[in-house]
Amino acid sequence: MIGWFYIFIHEQGAIVMIRTTNFNAGPAALPLEVLQKAKDEFLDFNGAGMSVMELSHRSKEYDAVHQKAKALLKELMDIPDDYEVMFLQGGASLQFSMIPMNFLSKDKTAHFIMTGAWSEKALAEAKLFGNTSIIASSKEDTYSYIPEVPEIPLDGAYLHLTSNNTIFGTQWQKFPDAPIPVVADMSSDILSRKIDVSQFDIIYAGAQKNLGPSGVTVVIMKKDWLGKENEQVAKILKYSTHAKADSLYNTPPTFAIYMLSLVLEWLKEKGGLDAIEKRNREKAGILYNAIDESGGFYRGHAREDSRSNMNVTFTLKNDELTASFIAKAKEEKMSGLGGHRSVGGCRASIYNAVSVEDCEKLAAFMKKFREEN
């Protein structure tokens, strides 16, 4: 039987599954160990006689999952006690609106550092609720680098940045010291490296890159922000509502949170953020070396000092060659290498669940394809 994502072959009478190497930008690869554990527990979770998807979100069985996910996230990221952790819905896209809706007013200004499409979307939503300004941008050079940050105005409501840019393949190497609160969209590189959470007042991240499947959004917020919300906001869109209810104000995405807890458990077993950061640097180095040693056959989009360890973006000399590269990669069971529709080219998203061996496989293919073309 031949399928798109895997094939089954007979090996000495046994059926063996060969999985496709997944370089999709999101929803992205999940650790095989996590998928196997979820498979084993799918019909009967901890002897409950039902799937975790069927459990009441008020049950003690689900509460254990919920609390484990929060505790592991706090432990792995070393989140200080004066921060609230919330599991929300709507993806990072809802946060583009929800943050200014709650914390920006017509007499305040939110400052933005523009590094890609997601920064643009966040800025567009903030404009609906108050004043905004762009204090730095790399748009004039097709977002190929992280710009230098000038002096930040002292009267701003907050400074917003996107820590990693999936479309253009750039990543902050060092975050700015700001005299005002800093809000960060970390959807595509959260838990890929160690950060100092105390540098930020709000961190938000859709789960479908490094945290788990789509459906849950993690928000890490300084608790003193909960008392600063604008009054004229619907109750379900107030952070204080969800903080007071421990993210159980309405029915949460229970299965996504369960999967999140398994991914966090896996990450801890792998040695935590020190180990995963080292592995992610190694993975990215393998692919960037393949680009740099190609003599211009592959051209990286991101400037070297701004390269992402999560999304490796590159182009070939023309669309025909690009299409051939992507098609032949699929024949070799490597999926998701097409660049974002807005920019084209190629992109290898190498989130935590992508292995060193996966990157070595792609690098070997890149070398072979170059030699043949």
Q: Could you list the active site residues? A: 118, 185, 209
d(CA 241, CA 92): 18
| Through-space distance between the first and last CA atoms of the chain, rounded to whole angstroms | 32
Site of tokens 């609230």: 84
Angle between helices 60-77 and 272-292 (to 10 degrees): 60
Tokens of 104: 């920006």
Q: Is cis: bond before 100, omega within 30 of 0?
A: no
Tokens of 87: 């599991």
Which residues have CB under 8 Å from 354's CB, separation 6+?
A: 21, 22, 23, 29, 283
Query: How long is the chain?
Result: 373
Tokens of 219: 């928000």
Q: CA 83 from chain center: how many Å? A: 20
Phi, psi of 120 (to 5 degrees): -65, -40
Site of tokens 């090996």: 11
Beta-sheet pairing, 21-22 with 217-222: unpaired
**Beta bridge partners of residue 85, listed in sequence order:** 220
Which residues have CB under 8 Å from 335's CB, separation 6+?
A: 4, 5, 20, 21, 22, 23, 24, 329
Strand, coil or helix: 150 = coil
d(CA 317, CA 52): 49
Angle between helices 117-126 and 91-103 (to 10 degrees): 40
Site of tokens 């007499």: 107
Q: Is cis: bond before 27, omega within 30 of 0?
A: yes
